[in-house]
Amino acid sequence: MNFCRNISLKCFITYFIAVWICISFLATCYVYELQLYNYIWKQPQDDCVDCEHHEKENQIAFEDLELYLRMTSRFTKQYYDFLLPSLRYFWPGNVSVVVVLDEENSQDKELGLKLPGTYPYPRVEYQSPIDPGIYHHKGHERMQRDFFYPDDKIKKKYVGFLDTDTVFITRVIPDLLFEEGKPVIIGIYGKSDEPYFRKESLTTASVFKSKEVFRGMSFFPVIMDVSHIVELRIYLEKLHNKSFDEIYKQYSGEPISQFSIMTQYMWSFHRDKYKFHFHLKSYNNGKWHGEGNSPNRQSYEFYQTNVTDDQKCPKPRSSIHYRYHPNWRKPPTLRNILKTGICFSGGFDVCPDQCKHLNRGALQPELYFFESVDWSWDKRSLDEQKKHYAKVLEQRNADTDSAIKLGCVEANKLWFKP
Ligand SMILES: *[C@@H]1O[C@H](CO)[C@@H](O)[C@H](O)[C@H]1NC(C)=O
Ligand SMILES: *[C@@H]1O[C@H](CO)[C@@H](O)[C@H](O)[C@H]1NC(C)=O
Ligand SMILES: *[C@@H]1O[C@H](CO)[C@@H](O)[C@H](O)[C@H]1NC(C)=O
């Protein structure tokens, strides 16, 4: 300011040059990012001869699975910034995704025209608003209600529910999501000390007229047999002698979790068709004996006697719920989380330079976190991680390597633009 107090030609020229340099610098960055974006999201993916064969091998167990994403155009940025890069690096190229949008929303309609043309080439479906009183005119409650009706939208045997801020953190192989062909369910068990989940367990218990077994909003993707969800609605309609939407209207508006309700049903009526894992919260590194357990939760005695050792064994998760990470707003957080997963999933071999800051034998803590609940205190978690990565490396092929390579390049440059 002082410098230019008396406007002179010399001052004007200096100022002009400085501004020009700044603008061209920013423009270069922008163009570079845009090129990177085009490279990553618009490249055809079938540029290696061997892929098809390998893809088949990898795909078999996912053939019956469609990922279900209930979103609206308000969440477009999350979809592009959080979910998509992680899908791209860690899922097989032809993952099936269904995006469900609001039927009455014109911006959703516009988005619905665009989405199927770009990765991951989702099928788009629309959901009518029905009677908004059912979900108390709240978008979030509406979304939860719609999760109970996947039979409208899903064309395969299994639905895999996701959120726009689900971030995959490791190569997704069938063993991570299915054991012996059965979908994995990871529930959080222990003292419910967050007020929200204390209340939420009350809702589940009240809906079923029996104690909640664990918190089911505790992993992604939540994979269920679609027909079991249809059965669940019928079961509750009989139990309450009213329509499912009336039941939903009665209980929503208070803390409620659609996933706790669904997993409760699967535990109660289809225990042998799913593989359950009880993520015990880390009180005293597992030395918790039921003190302060929520009154609406199954007792500690139940955990000791009715939960098998297998069900108590730590299971690596494929993803995290990103916006619950304490530093989620800071861009390096996502980059570092993705990069760690990329290195473990093949990066140590494919792009050693980008991974030399990491120790191959170390724990990848994100595998054992959901929101703020840690499971890595369990000594067995590192072993389970090693088993997982041994299988990932066994299933390495040209296709997975090229996804990992892409991740290595990109994780250093990140950001994504819709
Ligand atoms: C992915 O591609 C493979 C090979 O082309 C195919 O067999 C499989 O059915 C596809 N999977 C999905 C989920 O579309
Ligand atoms: C169920 O509700 C209907 C009316 O909605 C009522 O006529 C019927 O008696 C109820 N059945 C039971 C078993 O409560
Ligand atoms: C454990 O399971 C048995 C058999 O299903 C059941 O009768 C019993 O009530 C359960 N125990 C607890 C503490 O819930």
Q: What is the CATH number of the domain that holds 66?
A: 3.90.550
> Are residues 135 and 154 located together in one domain of the fold?
yes
Domain boundary among 297, 319, 341: 319
Number of domain units in the chain: 2
How far lies 316's CA from each of 108, 259, 367, 369, 371, in Å?
35, 19, 5, 9, 14
- For residues 376-410, one letter each, b for 16 or more C-beta atoms within 10 angstroms of the residue's C-beta and e for the rest, the string is bebeebbebbeebbeebeebbbebbbbbbbbbbeb
Point out the ligand nearest to the CA of residue 302. Answer: 3
Contact 391, 175 (CB under 8 A): yes
Point out the ligand nearest to the CA of residue 52. Answer: 1
> Are residues 179 and 294 located together in one domain of the fold?
yes
Angle CA(332)–CA(411)–CA(405) in degrees, nearest 5? Answer: 160
**What is the predicted pLDDT for the residue at 11?**
64
Domain boundary among 319, 343, 367: 319
59 Cβ inside 6 Å of ligand 1: yes
- Section 288-313 average pLDDT: 91
- Section 373-396 average pLDDT: 95
394 Cβ inside 6 Å of ligand 3: no
> Are residues 360 and 301 located together in one domain of the fold?
no
> Are residues 90 and 127 located together in one domain of the fold?
yes
Q: Does residue 259 sit within a domain? A: yes
Q: Which atom of ligand 1 is nearest to the CA of 62?
A: 13
Q: Which amino acid is at 149?
A: Y
96 Cβ inside 6 Å of ligand 1: yes
> Are residues 150 and 249 located together in one domain of the fold?
yes
> Are residues 229 and 340 located together in one domain of the fold?
no
Q: Does residue 402 sit within a domain? A: yes
> Are residues 237 and 275 located together in one domain of the fold?
yes
Question: Which pTM does this prediction carry?
Answer: 0.85
Question: How many Å lie between the centroid of ligand 1 and the Cα of residue 399?
Answer: 13
**What is the predicted pLDDT for the residue at 416?**
43
Question: How many Å lie between the centroid of ligand 3 and the Cα of residue 271?
Answer: 14
Tokens read off for 162: 């996701």
Q: Does residue 19 sit within a domain? A: no
> Are residues 341 and 271 located together in one domain of the fold?
no
How far lies 62's CA from each of 65, 73, 178, 180, 228, in Å?
5, 27, 9, 13, 18
Pocket test for ligand 1, best of 45, 51, 58, 63 (most atoms within 8 A of CB): 63
Q: Which atom of ligand 3 is nearest to the CA of 299?
A: 13
Q: How confident is the model at residue 34 (pLDDT cuts 50, 70, 90)?
A: very low
- Section 44-61 average pLDDT: 37
Pocket test for ligand 3, best of 268, 296, 298, 305 (most atoms within 8 A of CB): 305
210 Cβ inside 6 Å of ligand 1: no
Question: How many Å lie between the centroid of ligand 2 and the Cα of residue 240?
Answer: 9
> Are residues 291 and 155 located together in one domain of the fold?
yes
Domain boundary among 276, 303, 319: 319
Q: What is the domain range of residue 355?
A: 325-413
> Are residues 155 and 300 located together in one domain of the fold?
yes
Q: What is the rounded average pLDDT for all residues in the chain?
A: 87
**What is the predicted pLDDT for the residue at 43?**
45
Which residue did the predictor score with more confidence, 291 or 7?
291
For the ranges 349-358, 375-384, 404-413, which has the lowest average pLDDT? 404-413
**What is the predicted pLDDT for the residue at 26?**
62
**What is the predicted pLDDT for the residue at 70?**
97
Question: How many Å lie between the centroid of ligand 2 and the Cα of residue 7?
Answer: 87
Cα R_g (the chain), whole angstroms: 24
Contact 170, 316 (CB under 8 A): yes
pLDDT in tens, 104-153: 999 999 999 999 999 999 999 999 999 999 999 999 999 999 999 999 99
Q: Which atom of ligand 1 is nearest to the CA of 93?
A: 1
> Are residues 368 and 388 located together in one domain of the fold?
yes
> Are residues 58 and 130 located together in one domain of the fold?
yes
Q: How confident is the model at residue 5 (pLDDT cuts 50, 70, 90)?
A: low
